[in-house]
Amino acid sequence: MRVADPNFNAEHTLALARGASDLGAAVALFPELGISAYSNEDLFHQDVLLDATKAALARVIAESRDLSPVMLVGAPLRFEGKLFNCALVIYRGLLLGIVPKTFLPNYREFYEKRQFNSGRNAVRREVSFLGRTVPFGNDLIFDATNYEDFSIHVEICEDVWTPIPPSTYAALAGATVLTNLSASNITIGKADYRRDLCASQSGKCISAYLYSAAGPGESTTDLAWDGHAIIYENDELLAESQRFSSAEQIVVADLDLERLAQDRMRTTSFNDAVADHRERVSRDPPGPLRI
């Protein structure tokens, strides 16, 4: 990818999505802010970049029409006079919903609150984008109509590094495939912590957990990026990318959704937790999704 070059990034995103489609993938997860790049710093407040990102997203949505996967791509988007770090859920030529990042890191090397608003500051539950009104929020669950127990939730990077990630409530509400678009620069020991974090979240939530971090092309002025992608199912590692690869990669795995449903049914404490958090566990899906 290239920093602040949405056209280039959209082209490579679509090329990878076509490769995933050829493999019969049902979900194609891309890194955080992958259409614009993550390391734009104050360029995020430039109309030229934001307008080019919007135009590139229109192309990605249109060209997804003949592809099999649900595409989860990241981009900065303006709504309500605020700038949000967003994940877009795209499927066969349609934008199904937009998920804003909830927890913005503002410590050590991070200062996302300088550019972005948290999704919790959004006033509306729906937004208008590219001529359509779509659901907007961090608690959206996307249900497949032709695959039982296939329900997708999306969160972004720091969201899973918190004591109670949004995906925890989503799992209690029935989501089985938890996904994370991440940038996540690399520091010593961080890769092992990512593995532990994703393994633990998939195990506690009795779910799949898909994680995709930024790689080559992001600015390396003061950060490094390893392109770490991992897929877990109920605490079991199914697939992992080669870190620091100079080439693009597609990391794939098969998920046993029937196993997850069976395990949840048997685990009485999981359902006790649903009862304990009933006020936070909602099911207001954006509409049926046929995969």
Residues taking part in catalysis: 32, 101, 157
d(CA 49, CA 8): 13
Task: Give, as one character, the DSSP assignment of residue 139.
Answer: T
d(CA 180, CA 45): 24
d(CA 179, CA 229): 11
Q: Contact, 122 vs 115, CB < 8 A?
A: no
Q: Is 146 exposed, middle or buried (0-12, 13-18, 19+ CB in 10 A)?
A: exposed
Query: What is the residue whose two structure tokens read 């609150």?
Result: 113
Within 13 Å of residue 193, how many CA atoms lie on the same side as its CB? 9
263 is written with which tokens?
Answer: 């395990």
d(CA 20, CA 71): 10
Within 13 Å of residue 180, how many CA atoms lie on the same side as its CB? 33
Count of C-beta atoms within a 10 Å radius of residue 108: 7
